[in-house]
A and B are shown apart, each in its own frame.
Chain A
Amino acid sequence: MPQKEPTFDITKHQLVPKHIILSEKEKKEVLEKYGVDETQLPKILNTDPVVVAIGAKPGQLLKIIRKSPTAKESIVYRIVVENNE
């Protein structure tokens, strides 16, 4: 039987980078910084396990801090979109 919810907190797993939900104000700042609209940002599905775990809603912007062997830390933004499949 496939489980609906994982039985542990996946955000604590070492391979899962840190996901932060940005406020509307922060989101606007990011959009302005890069001069893009929402459709031009990388996406993340609202059904993505991490998105479910941190409870982000479609339209919200996530800041993802990844570990990088060359840059130590790399910051990436992803916008939550609805999964319609």
Chain B
Amino acid sequence: MEGANSITKKIDYIEFTLLSPSEIRKMSATKVITADTYDEDGFPISMGLMDPKMGVVEPGLRCKTCGQRVGKDKCPGHFGHIDLAMPVIHVGHVKTIRDCLRATCRECGRLLITDKRREEFLEELKRCDETGRSKHYVYRAVIDEARKVESCPHCGRAVGKIELDKPTTLRENGKKLTPSEVREWLEKIRDEDLPLLDINRNAARPEWMVLTVLPVPPVTVRPSVTLQSGERSEDDLTHKLVDVIRINQRLQENRDAGAPQLIVEDLWELLQYHVTTYLDNQTSGIPPARHRSGRPLKTIAQRLKGKEGRFRSNLSGKRVNFSARTVISPDPNLSINEIGVPIKVAEELTVPVRVTNYNFDWCKKMLIQKFLPENAQKEYVPGVNYVIKTAGNIRRRIKITEKNAETMLEKLEIGDIIERQLMDGDLVLFNRQPSLHRMSMMAHRVKVVPYKTFRFNLCVCPPYNADFDGDEMNLHLLQGEEAKAEAEILMKVQENILSPRFGGPIIGGIHDIISGCFLLTHKDRKVRLDKASYLLAAIDYKGDLPIHVDENGERYVYGRDIFSTLLPKDLTMKYKSKVYADRDTSEAYVVIKKGVLKQGTIDENSIGAFKGKLLDRILRDYGMDAGREFIDKVTRLGIAACTIFGFTTSIDDEDIPEEAKLKIQEGLEEAMEKIKQLIHAYENDELEALPGRSPEETLEMEIMKVTGKARDMAGEIAGEHLGLENSAVIMAKSGARGSMLNLSQMSGCVGQQAVRGERIHRGYKHRTLPHFKKGDLGAQAKGFVASSYKRGLTPTEYFFHSMGGREGLVDTAVRTSRSGYMQRRLINALEDIRVEEDGSVRDASGKIIQFIYGEDGVDPARSYNGDAVDIDSVIADVKGEI
């Protein structure tokens, strides 16, 4: 559509060249000689830095060069120029200049290699062109060879040693070369030698790297801003140019007046400094030019470089329309494919729809329905925000309000475009930063909901790595049909359940969903009929009531039969549950026969994200639609089960009987005694050192072993008294949340604290804290926390615990920044490689990286834990075993 009224051209190639002084003068609209910008009346000074010949920034004013205004006609601005009194070196090119000087003779300007070698190098370059190899080595070799020469092979002049004194001083045999001398030298280099110096002879001359005239960028590039107070504030570049002009003028005056050489040289160096910082204000070796407030100026290089620079911030990255951002919150009643979008957001986001013969009535309905009286009571009715009418070449955007809706309805005609508000069923992209993998941005179906947060199913938290402690997420509305189709096929949440990271489900039951299913299926759980109907209603069950039993005049349904209603009718499998992972009795196994859960407990190993075997099987054998439905229903069933049975945890879940506490106490004392013995043995030189270890290291290792065992012992004793009737234990064992280690630290003993993998040893002289004797090697003095979280830590224990905790905090901070940078480099290196139709992996130039993707051509997202096929289940299937 865009192509119809615009000319499209293909870029053949881009050539980067140097600007020659004559080119700079040719493109210049004016010479700039005055360092001032505006006069007292606020008018720009002619031949000053804000000369209107270089373009205008205020709306309405006309450019003196092209006569156009800035807004409507788009005067692009025009360059000016400053004639430098003396030449200065361009910082960006110093290294090239150095190489040019090193490779050539100061006398005759020819390459310091024999004609024969010269021919050979040219030959070599030609060969590189043919084979597509990098010419880098050849250029290096030319310079290296020239540097070894002692006298010029052409004129015999002794070759001096060229050194670059950063940032911009060049020396020959230790003697400073002035920019003028450098320029004279570079002028002597012959055109035909340039290809060997990596310079395109059609594009540049080496002496252009020494500036004699400085281009002044258009005013549009460095606009001045007028503050409310009426004061003008100039751009950093303008400030810097003022400095350049001022020094340039003084230099000229002094030189013309025949000032002493010393003064002229000082001013010359100052001019060099100003031009250098104008180009790059972060040149190492010189102090950055500062603003009056002390802030370093943002000059040309700073505008382009780095994350906030033009490239990364404005060219690779763009701000977009049709997007929204708000806080997220959970909603287990939504499908994993859905997203709840607040009404306020839905009313702002629009989709363009072209009015055609086929949808004319529908478009009319959309336009008016928001204002119809029968819809007044409805919470949300999608309307139309704008109508775009095209008459000839003029596009008109008309905002639809209650007042003009009727008239616009009459005027609506085929060919118009209506910008329709978001409605249920629209496909949108949903994203949470940091976008570390493809699942960080997935497509969801919209459901417009009240209140002000984005809502989604809890199972979709792991791929986004989201929680609801205040996280915000972004939403992007797809605008075109192709985009929608592509997102539907590739980006929908259900298409991303299987992660390409490890070939298993990344979306699955978490937290309460697992607890709920555990409660429902553990140990022959029976549910009274009324409650069973509640559960079945939660999963929209339609069909016969599952088998029920009568007991004491009440009817009961087995929990696992309720769960079975979610299973495909021909599913048969057997695997181990997580609760009994350490046992090998029959109850440790989950057995499903023909879609009926015969025995076993449903936990993380069945339905969990990452680990759920049952979920994995359903996804692979019954497809993504079945998998999505399963997850949706398991979510609702799990939550409903929790609601019915009740599930709560509190601090008394960590209560253990007095005798257990005593037993732990005894165990800890025993460990202390053992440590004392070890220290005693060490002090009497009786401790046998381990191979390759000093006695000190051996002692530390032995003590660490003992403290580790002591904590395990405490955990075990505590664990004996924490059974599966305990909610905290249910969560830990079923994999819903927390671990047995967490529990044993809460009720038993926290254990040894470590910094850098060692017991805590730094602090005061010969001791960690003044509470201990100097040289104390005992457990308490080196960071062993014998208390439990519940009982509370002693002051010293608390301090050691904080030390260990802080290390963890610092580690995560360091890790994230480091891995972020690593990932950035990887992405930049790999961004243009792709899998071609023939299965080979190639880069943008068609170079082959891999002949078959990953050597085996297997899509990791469709692999079984990285393997191409799940052989075991295939064999079991064929043999008919379960």
Contacts and interface: CB of A to CB of B under 8 A. Distances in A.
13 contacts: A34-B848, A36-B848, A39-B131, A40-B842, A40-B845, A41-B847, A70-B868, A71-B855, A71-B856, A74-B856, A77-B851, A84-B133, A84-B137
B132 A41 contact: no
Interface in A24-72: 34, 36, 38-42, 66, 68, 70-71
Q: Is the contact region of chain A dominated by helix, strand, or loop, or is it mixed?
A: mixed
Contacts of B131: 38-39, 81
B846 interface: yes
A15 to B, nearest CB: 16
A26 to B, nearest CB: 15
Interface residues of B, number: 23
Contacts of A85: 137
A16 interface: no
Contact of B852 (A38, A74, A81, A84): A74
A81 B852 CA distance: 23
Interface in A71-85: 71, 74-77, 81, 84-85
Contacts of B868: 70
Interface in B829-848: 838, 840, 842, 845-848
Nearest to A58: B131
How many interface residues does chain A have, given as a range? 10 to 19
B854 A42 contact: no
Interface string B121-133: 0001000000111
Nearest to A68: B855
Given A39-B132, A85-B137, A70 B848 contact: no
B846 A70 contact: no
Contacts, number: 46
Given A34-B840, A68-B856, A81 B848 contact: no
Contacts of B58: none
Nearest to A71: B856
Given A34-B840, A68-B855, 17 more contacts: A36-B846, A39-B132, A39-B847, A40-B842, A40-B848, A41-B847, A42-B848, A66-B855, A70-B855, A70-B856, A70-B867, A71-B857, A74-B851, A74-B852, A74-B856, A84-B124, A84-B137
Contacts of A38: 131
B672 interface: no
A49 to B, nearest CB: 21
Contacts of B855: 66, 68, 70-71, 74
A68 B845 CA distance: 27
A75 B856 contact: no
B858 interface: yes
A64 to B, nearest CB: 10
A85 B851 CA distance: 28
B196 to A, nearest CB: 16
Interface of A: 34, 36, 38-42, 66, 68, 70-71, 74-77, 81, 84-85
A68 B858 CA distance: 13
Contacts of A70: 854-856, 858, 866-868
A75 B848 contact: no
Nearest to B840: A34
Contacts of A66: 855
Contact of A76 (B132, B842, B851, B866): B851
Contacts of B851: 34, 74-77
B854 A40 contact: no
Contacts of B854: 70
Nearest to B130: A39
A84 B857 CA distance: 35
A66 B842 CA distance: 20
Contacts of B845: 40
Contacts of B866: 70
Q: Which 8 A-B pairs give the minimum distances between C-beta atoms?
A: A71-B856, A39-B132, A74-B855, A70-B856, A40-B847, A68-B855, A71-B855, A40-B846
Contacts of A41: 847-848
Interface string B98-124: 000000000000000000000000001
Nearest to A59: B131
Contacts of A34: 838, 840, 848, 851
A71 B858 CA distance: 9
Contacts of B124: 84
Contacts of A40: 842, 845-848
B867 to A, nearest CB: 7
A27 to B, nearest CB: 14
Contacts of B858: 70
A66 B857 CA distance: 15
B854 to A, nearest CB: 7
A81 B132 CA distance: 11
Interface in B796-848: 838, 840, 842, 845-848
A38 B847 CA distance: 10
A75 B840 CA distance: 12
A78 to B, nearest CB: 10
Nearest to B854: A70
B133 A81 contact: yes
A18 to B, nearest CB: 15
A5 B854 CA distance: 34
Nearest to A72: B856
Contacts of A39: 131-132, 847
Interface string B294-335: 000000000000000000000000000000000000000000
